[in-house]
Amino acid sequence: MSLMEKVNDFLELEATIVDVLKNIYDPEIPVNIYDLGLIYEINVDEDQLVHVKMTLTAPNCPMADDLLSEVNQKVREIEGVKELDLVLTFDPPWDKSMLSEEAALALGLL
């Protein structure tokens, strides 16, 4: 497999991961976690290990376990993902400026 084919495979896998994350919703807010700005980083390495760094809207979020479990399950189900390294961080803390324009519109903030 050529370098360009590998790059295209990584980009395609990252796009698929984003699509999956856009179908996971915070149960308390009618917006997906990607557009909420909860996903800080997505990286795929050459061994198809996926690294996702995410946050929550608040450190004491009552739905934290459910959201992390859903991300873990759904990303691992994606064809081409061999392993997932899911990291929860609160640095930097989430705030409304991290919302996508679509999410801000949906929440009536624009």
Which pLDDT belongs to residue 7? 72
Which pLDDT belongs to residue 29? 84
Which pLDDT belongs to residue 2? 75
64-76 vs 3-21: helix axis angle to the nearest 10?
140
User: Please, are residues 71 and 79 in contact by the beta-carbon 8 Å criterion?
Assistant: no
Going residue by residue through the chain, which has 110 residues, state the pLDDT in tens, using 9 for 90 and above: 676 777 778 789 999 999 999 999 988 888 999 999 999 999 998 888 999 999 999 899 888 999 999 999 999 999 999 999 999 999 999 999 999 998 998 888 87
Question: How many C-beta atoms surround the C-beta of residue 10 within 10 A?
Answer: 16
Which pLDDT belongs to residue 26? 84
CA distance 15 to 7: 12
Cα–Cα–Cα angle for 33, 15, 71, rounded to 5 degrees: 35
Which pLDDT belongs to residue 52? 98
Each domain of the chain, given as residue ranges in start order, spans 3-106
Which pLDDT belongs to residue 73? 98
Strands of 3-104, DSSP E: 39-44, 49-54, 83-88
Which pLDDT belongs to residue 20? 98
Say which residues have a Cβ less than 8 Å from residue 50's Cβ, sequence separation at least 6: 13, 17, 42, 43, 44, 75, 81, 83, 84, 85
Q: Return the CATH number of the domain spanning residue range 3-106.
A: 3.30.300.130
Which pLDDT belongs to residue 1? 65
CA distance 52 to 12: 16
